[in-house]
């Protein structure tokens, strides 16, 4: 039995782990499904290290990119009909897939744990505040073993020391990356950065 087989035991929803995997696999290309499995493996390691619920982190990881390849038009309809921030619709699936993924986690998979739903919702941009589960997913998505970007080794090193340090690193580097690529920055991304930098400066 692999580590991933042990992860999710089913106490958060009526869905079996096998059924969740089958459903997730249908939503995306094989390479992204492999990413999801690596995010889960990494989330479990972080959950064990930092004392988060392994089951909750496993489930959040398995569902985090559920909507990533969904049709942007359908995502927009969900954003608008569910009263999510309509400004998201101007930034394409990159920003919408977290909140829309959380909507499916709740409505399709019956997840009611707000910490899991928030973790999925916030996994792309982070949150002004994040639960332990939220931080685990946010960082695991960034440092899973398949990631190769410049700076990933530093992110992995920080994740071994402090979830907050690693989260701040991701928040800062993402903004720098977006500016360098001349991509528009969703205002929520800036709010999150401001919160984290203010707390960091406040501490030093």
In whole angstroms, the minimum distance from the beta carbon of 134 to ligand GDP comes to 13
Partner from ligand GDP, Fe ion, none contacting 8, C-beta within 5 to 8 A by type: none
Q: Which residue has the tokens 């039995």?
A: 1
Q: For the chain, give the number of residues.
A: 204
How far is residue 69's CA from residue 75's CA, in Å, rounded to a whole number?
10
C-alpha span between 54 and 46 (Å, rounded): 9
Stretch touching ligand GDP by CB under 6 A, among 13-21, 89-97, 156-164, 193-201: 89-97
Compute the least distance from the CB of residue 194 to Fe ion, in Å.
22
- Residue 53 sits in the site that holds ligand GDP (CB under 6 A): no
Residue 49 host element (H or E): helix 30-50
Binds Fe ion by CB under 5 A, chosen from 7, 13, 63, 65: 65
Are the C-beta atoms of 139 and 170 separated by less than 8 Å? yes
Q: How far is the CB of 39 from ligand GDP (least distance, A)?
A: 7
Q: State yes or no: residue 185 binds ligand GDP (CB under 6 A).
A: yes
Nearest to 99 by CA among 120, 81, 80, 69: 120
The contact set with ligand GDP (CB under 6 A) reads 35, 65, 68, 91, 94-95, 123-125, 141, 174, 177-178, 183-186, 189
């Amino acid at each position: 039995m692999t580590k991933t087989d042990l992860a999710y035991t089913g106490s958060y929803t009526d869905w079996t782990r096998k059924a969740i995997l089958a459903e997730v696999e249908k939503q995306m290309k094989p390479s992204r499904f492999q990413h999801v499995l690596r995010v889960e493996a990494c989330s479990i390691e972080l959950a064990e290290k930092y004392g988060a619920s392994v089951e909750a982190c496993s489930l959040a990881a398995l569902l985090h990119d559920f909507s990533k390849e969904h049709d942007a038009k359908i995502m927009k309809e969900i954003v608008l009909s569910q009263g999510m921030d309509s400004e998201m619709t101007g930034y394409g699936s990159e920003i919408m897939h977290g909140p829309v993924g959380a909507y499916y986690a709740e409505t399709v998979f019956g997840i009611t744990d707000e910490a899991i739903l928030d973790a999925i919702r916030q996994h792309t941009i982070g949150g002004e505040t994040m639960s332990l589960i939220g931080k685990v997913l946010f960082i695991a998505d960034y440092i899973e073993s398949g990631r190769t970007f410049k700076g990933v080794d530093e992110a992995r090193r920080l994740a071994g020391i402090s979830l907050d340090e690693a989260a701040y690193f991701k928040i800062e580097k993402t903004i720098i990356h977006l500016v360098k690529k001349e991509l528009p920055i969703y205002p929520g991304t800036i709010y999150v950065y401001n919160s984290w930098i203010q707390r960091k400066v406040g501490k030093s």
